[in-house]
Structures are given as C-alpha cells and as structure tokens.
Amino acid sequence: MSALLRPADARQRPALRQRVFGRRRVLPGSGLSLGFTLFYLSLVVLIPLGGLFWKSTELGWADFLRIAGSERARAAYALTFSASFAAALINGVFGLVLAWVLVRYRFPGRRLLDALVDFPLALPTAVAGLAYTALYVPQGWIGRYFDLLGIQVSYSRLGVVVVLTFISLPFMVRTVQPVLLALEREVEEAAASLGAGRWATVRRVILPALLPAWSTGLAMAFARAIGEYGSVIFIAGNLPRKTEIAPLLIVFQLEEFNYAGATAIAVVLLLASFFTVGVINLLSRRQQRYG
C-alpha cells in the first residue's frame, strides 16, 4: 500500500516530486488536487478497507482458509461468479443486439428506449428485487409461463441470473454503443464492395472491431453483478449451498456474531473485485490503443 501512497509523500518532498512527475508541468494544482484526491480516497476507501484486511489477520491462515474456503462459502462464490457471468453473457448477446438496434435502425420510440437502458442505474436495487420477485413467482406475470414449463424462477439460481441481468444491462449496452457509432462506414462499404456478403461483413469486420469494447462491457457487467446484494436477496431464496450469494453469507456470518468469518469472506470478494476492476482497466487501455 505504501507504493500507492507515494504521490502523497511527494507533496512534501520536492525532490521526489520531480521523480514522480516525470514531465515538466505547466498547470498548477497538482499538489492540491492529487493531495486531496489521495486524502479523500484514503479516508473513505483505503483506510476502511485496510481495517478490513487487518481484522481478517486476527484469524490465522488455517482459520482463514477454513472459513473462506468452507464448502458453503465455496458454493456461494460459485453461485455469485457463475450467475454474474451468465448475466453478463446474456447481456453480451441481447445487450449487443439492443445496442445494434438502437444505433443502426430508426423506429418509433427509439429515443425513449435508449433512455430506458439507463433505468437499472437509476432504480434502487431493492425495488428491482421486489418487482422481479413478484414478476417471477408462479402466479406472477412472467412466472406463470415458466411455471407451465415446470421451471421455477423466483427462489432459484435462475432468479439470481435474471435479476443480475437487469442490474448489469446498461454496462454492456453503454460500452458497445459508442464503438458501434464510431465504426467507419467506409470500412463496411469497402468490405461490401470487395464482394463480401452482409453476413460476412458483420462477421469479419464489425464483430472483430467490437470485440475490445464487448469484452470490456462484459467485464464491467460482471463486476457490477458480483457486488450486487439488494435485489438478489429478495429473489434468491437464500438457501445455503444452493441459492446463497457470497455477500449474503457475509451478512449471515455477521448476524451469527462471527466477525472474523465475515471479514474472511469479504476479503475474498474484495480481491475478486480488485482483480476484475484491474482487468477492466487493462482491457480498456488496450481498447484505447487498438480500438
């Protein structure tokens, strides 16, 4: 962590400052803005998270592994990650279609629909959970049709996937959309004039060009989904080892007075979050370079 904080020290030590800021700077305010950024970041994010790690060290390695690696916890991670990935993939397919339709075609109500894509960002997740649960119970508007097929959605893993799809929808659509907009029309036209059929153009030209943005969108949708709590607890049924997501396990551990256990699982989730965000930034940097 000390490495991360180096720029803060730099404020007080001009020599170091020279080394840290390589380029000659014209604009003022580097110390102030960076200092404040780091101060606030530390206060709200780093110190509390550090406290979390510190707390988890109260457990020995053996205990940490026993709790964070227990069968129940592993099942919860598995559900959290697989459901999040499934939701991201669903958005990867349908969200892509939606983005394509919104960018390329013109039809009545397009603008309204485009605005609605952001609804999941604005709607409190508890409301989403409440509505989705009511929608997918066997008597619900949609649940009744699944019920005819003998499929249970609310209170099953499927329910978790469904609600996570809602939560992470904008992340996919909004990442792909600008790239679709910016795709050079000439390239497509060139492909077409060279005799490529429309499908071949889509497959050979458009989709490869979309791939970096698409994978970034996928990762962002995934990252958003693994953290989700409010909506999932309404719809999941919360059955240990079956429909219990990892964040809920933390709450249960907490309610069972098992603080160390709660932090152990939290640390695992946190590392996963950190990793995912790191991957996203890597992806988007590459996209920046080649996209």
Partner 1 sequence: MSWLKKIAVPLLILTALAALVACSSDEEPSPTSTSTPTSEAATGTAAATGTAGAAEATAAPVTGEKIELLNVSYDPTRELYAEYAELFKEHYLFQTGIEVTVSNSHGGSGSQARAIVDGLEADTATLALSGDTDRLVDAGLLDEGWQSEFPLNSSPYTSTIVLLVRAGNPKGIQDWADLSDEGVGVITPNPKTSGGARWNFLAAWASVTESGGSEDDAKDLLGRIFSNVLVLDSGARGSTQTFIDRGIGDVLIAWENEALLATRDSDDYEIVYPSISILAEPAVAVVDDTVDDRGTREAATEFLNYLYDPEVQELIARNFYRPSDPDVLAQFRDQYPELKLVDIGYFDGWTAVQEKFFADGAIFDEIYQP
Partner 2 sequence: MASHSVGAALPSEEPRQASTSVFAEPAWVRLLLIVVGVGFLGVVVILPVALVFEQAFALGAGFYLDAIRDPDTVSALRLTLTVAAIVVPLNAIFGVAAAWAITKFDFRGKSILITLIDLPLAVSPVVAGLIYVLIFGAQGYIGPWMREHDIRVIFALPGIALATTFVTFPLVARSLIPVMQDVGREYEEAAVSLGASGWRTFWSVTLPQAKWGLLYGIILCNARAMGEFGAVAVVSGKITGKTDTLPLRVEKLDKAFDTTSAFAVASMLVALAVVTLVLKVIVEWRTSDHESGPGSPAREHV
Which residues inside 9-48 make contact with partner 2, applying CB under 8 A?
Answer: 10, 20-23, 25-30, 32-34, 36-38, 40-41, 44-46, 48
Binding residue (CB under 8 A) for partner 1 from 91, 154, 175, 276:
154
Residues in the chain: 291
Does an H or E element contain 72, and which? helix 71-90
Which residues in the 193-232 window bind partner 2 by CB under 8 A?
193, 198, 213, 216, 220, 223-224, 226-230
Which residues in the 82-141 window bind partner 2 by CB under 8 A?
94-95, 97-98, 100-107, 110-111, 113-128, 130-132, 134-135, 141
DSSP 8-state class, residue 3: T
If binding is defined by CB under 8 A, does position 138 make contact with partner 1? yes
If binding is defined by CB under 8 A, does position 240 make contact with partner 2? no
For partner 1, which is the closer residue by CB, 137 or 172?
A: 137
Q: Is the dihedral of CA 42, 225, 99, 135 positive or negative?
A: negative
Q: In angstroms, what is the minimal distance from the CB of 171 to partner 1? A: 23
H helices within 123-229, ranges in order?
Answer: 125-136, 143-148, 157-182, 185-193, 198-201, 207-227
What is each CA distance from 78 to 62, 75, 223, in whole angstroms?
21, 5, 15
For partner 2, which is the closer residue by CB, 33 or 65?
A: 33
Which residues in the 62-91 window bind partner 2 by CB under 8 A?
none
Helix axes 246-255, 71-90, angle to 10 degrees: 140
Separation between Cα atoms, residue 143 and residue 162, nearest integer Å: 12
Cα of first residue to Cα of last residue in the chain, in angstroms, is 32
Separation between Cα atoms, residue 148 and residue 169, nearest integer Å: 27
Beta carbons of 160 and 82 less than 8 angstroms apart: no
If binding is defined by CB under 8 A, does position 179 make contact with partner 2? yes
Binding residue (CB under 8 A) for partner 2 from 154, 156, 177, 215:
177
Q: In angstroms, what is the minimal distance from the CB of 81 to partner 2? A: 13
Binding residue (CB under 8 A) for partner 1 from 133, 168, 177, 284:
133
For partner 1, which is the closer residue by CB, 77 or 252?
A: 252
Judged by CB under 8 A, the number of residues near partner 1 is 19
List of residues contacting partner 1 (CB under 8 A): 133, 137-139, 154-155, 237-242, 251-252, 254-258
